[in-house]
Amino acid sequence: MTGTALDVAQRLFDAIENKSVDTVAALYADDVAVWHNFSNSEQTKAENLKVLDGLTKNVAHIRYEVTERLLLGDRVMQRHLLRCKVEDGEEVVIPACIFVTACNGKITRIDEYLDTAQSTALGAAIQRARSAAKR
């Protein structure tokens, strides 16, 4: 399935919200590079899918609240609030900006900028929910 970069990006975000890591894998080109501001390094397809798999298994609900989305040729720039609810209902909101590059219906590159304080807060919320569930 092809489409504009906007179409491909929308399929990516829908797949993550639906916790379908297999769909994300199908959207990624084999040589996709996923760069993050907090590490200033690139992840391979396998590395990024492992992170997404962990996220989808450790949160009850994921939703993107899009505040801005622009098509820039074969790239999409999106600013959003990533809203993640853990099993006990606590919600953590992560402000982020992401650039998704797509060619022939496949994602070839992602550049993601996010607030690491909030991603750390999400990890802590997941741990609290796990601890509460064990009691």
75 in Cβ contact with 99 (< 8 Å): yes
Share of the chain above pLDDT 90, in %: 79
Domain of residue 116, CATH code: 3.10.450.50
Q: Which two tokens stand for residue 40?
A: 């200033």
Residues 85-126 pLDDT 10s: 998 999 999 999 999 999 999 999 999 999 888 888 888 888
Report residue 49's pLDDT band, with 50, 70 and 90 as the boundaries: very high
- Domain of residue 121 covers 5-134
Q: How far apart are the first and last CA of the chain?
A: 47
- In angstroms, rounded to a whole number, what is the distance separating the alpha carbons of residues 83 and 50? 20
Number of domains within the chain: 1
Per-residue model confidence (pLDDT) at position 1:
53
With a CB cutoff of 8 Å and minimum separation 6, the contacts of 87 are 60, 129, 130, 133
Residue range 19-37, pLDDT digits in tens: 999 999 999 999 999 999 9
Q: Is 79 exposed, middle or buried (0-12, 13-18, 19+ CB in 10 A)?
A: middle
The pTM of this model reads 0.91
Residues 6+ apart with CB under 8 A from 123: none
- Per DSSP, 1 falls in state -
User: How far apart are alpha carbons 83 and 92 in whole angstroms?
Assistant: 6
